[in-house]
Amino acid sequence: MSEALARTPLHDLHVSLGAKMVPFAGYDMPVQYPAGILAEHLHTRSAAALFDVSHMGQVRLEGPGAAAALERLVPGDIAGLGHGRMRYTLLTNDAGGIRDDLMVTSRGDHLFLIVNAACKDADIAHLTRHISGVRPLPERALLALQGPMAATVLARLAPESAGLAFMSAAPMALAGIACDVSRSGYTGEDGFEISVPGDAAEALARRLLAEPEVKPAGLGARDTLRLEAGLCLYGHDIDETTTPVEAALTWTIAKRRRAEGGYPGADVVARQLAQGAQRKRVGIKPADKAPAREETPIVAPDGRTIGRVTSGGFGPSVGGPVAMGYVESEFAAPGTELGLVVRGSTRPARVATLPFVPHRYKA
């Protein structure tokens, strides 16, 4: 294992639990535990799983002008966020491409951002060039407790967590540890993300894992869960060459922001909103059991290549292969017949409505 890999505060815990560790975004991360990805995935859907997402970037934007400044970089309505409310948004470039996707929470006197691990250094540099009061928080860890029993478990440690609304956040003590808790996550299930001081992260993780409903889960299950939920993985389903319109993320662009623009690439996005984009991200359901992996060519009935798969694999909750990818817009309607070129053979598939598994966020 390369000594250059960074470690999260939970590294020793992962090793003690028998995790298979792999390099990911510059970190030594658990891809799975002895039970395996399938078991971890299904346990998340039926009970509660604990994920270490401490490799992601946590950042404070301080100062009274933070919301207005951030709106010059993203198409989301940040100024309209109420105290304790959070929003999914996108950092865009001048071509309307997506530099990163991120979560933004209003904490009253500051904004709290969570950005992707592989992008965080570039994001922080980008933010710092355009906004004053950028403060990275490398001393904090981040845990994700996900699944239908997550609320029951967390309420034992902090009864007030039960009243937390979806996409909202609040400070609270968990097992005597001061944390910032949001009701959010990237599995399609109800759950929480917990920002905790790094030196207290292992103690909190062990306390949560001591609950009978909770088991550890790694990057493998996190990927299959988010794919079934139709959620994008940065660097795969979205990147600097994909726009919010192409990525079917137009819901992230607030009505006010559509009208006023003022963010990088706003003219490109406005044109695509009005006229449509030439391609679109869609769900894809192969007709047989062969999974279509990333970069699999997508072809029209006449054999012409019309796109490619960006994420694909076996969906444990679906009981078969699922995928997402980009196709020419005329082929994007649900039910459209497609072909997937897998190992040199064209296999039948169709465009599927996303998500593959219904979201079960708190109402």
Q: Let me know if residue 89 belongs to a domain.
A: no
By residue count, the chain amounts to: 363
Of the three residues 228, 253, 288, the one that is the final residue of a domain is 228
Query: Are 189 and 51 contained in the same domain?
Result: yes
pLDDT of 302 reads 96
Query: How many structural domains does the chain have?
Result: 2
Of the three residues 228, 261, 295, the one that is the final residue of a domain is 228
Strands (E), the chain: 20-24, 27-32, 48-52, 57-62, 86-92, 98-106, 110-115, 134-136, 140-146, 169-174, 177-182, 191-197, 214-216, 279-286, 297-299, 305-315, 320-328, 337-342, 345-352
| 168 contacts 124 by C-beta, under 8 angstroms | no
Query: Are 207 and 302 contained in the same domain?
Result: no
- Domain that residue 190 falls in: 11-55+138-228
Q: Let me know if residue 300 belongs to a domain.
A: yes
Query: Are 307 and 184 contained in the same domain?
Result: no
Q: Is 119 helix (H, G, I), strand (E, B) or coil?
A: helix
Query: Are 222 and 163 contained in the same domain?
Result: yes
**Residue in this structure with the two tokens 């980009």, named with its chain if needed:** 326
Please compute, for residue 136, the number of CA atoms within 13 A of its CA located in the half-sphere on the CB side.
16
CATH number of the domain where residue 328 is located: 2.40.30.110
Query: Are 209 and 313 contained in the same domain?
Result: no
Query: Are 183 and 332 contained in the same domain?
Result: no
**Distances in Å between the alpha carbon of 170 and those of 74, 84, 108, 179, 180?**
24, 6, 11, 9, 6
Reading the chain (363 residues) residue by residue, the pLDDT tens digits are 446 899 999 999 999 999 999 999 999 999 999 999 999 999 999 999 999 999 999 999 999 899 999 999 999 999 999 999 999 999 999 999 999 999 999 998 999 999 999 999 999 999 999 999 999 999 999 999 999 999 999 999 999 999 999 999 999 999 999 999 999 999 999 999 999 999 999 999 999 999 999 999 999 999 999 999 999 999 999 999 999 999 999 999 999 999 999 999 999 999 999 999 999 999 999 999 989 999 999 999 999 999 999 999 999 999 999 999 999 999 999 999 999 999 999 999 999 999 999 999 998
Query: Are 284 and 206 contained in the same domain?
Result: no
What is the spatial distance between Cα 104 and Cα 113, in angstroms, rounded to a whole number? Answer: 5
Query: Are 39 and 150 contained in the same domain?
Result: yes
Alpha helix locations (H) across 103-218?
120-130, 150-157, 201-209
Q: Let me know if residue 17 belongs to a domain.
A: yes
Pick the closest to residue 74 from 95, 109, 101, 56 (CA basis). 101
Q: Which helix (H) or strand (E) holds 80?
A: none
Q: Let me know if residue 263 belongs to a domain.
A: no
Q: Let me know if residue 147 belongs to a domain.
A: yes
Query: Are 224 and 284 contained in the same domain?
Result: no
| 196 contacts 182 by C-beta, under 8 angstroms | no
Of the three residues 189, 211, 228, the one that is the final residue of a domain is 228
Q: Let me know if residue 265 belongs to a domain.
A: no
CATH number of the domain where residue 182 is located: 3.30.1360.120
Q: Let me know if residue 241 belongs to a domain.
A: no
pLDDT of 2 reads 46
What is the spatial distance between Cα 338 and Cα 353, in angstroms, rounded to a whole number? Answer: 14
Q: Let me know if residue 264 belongs to a domain.
A: no
**Residue in this structure with the two tokens 């088991």, named with its chain if needed:** 215
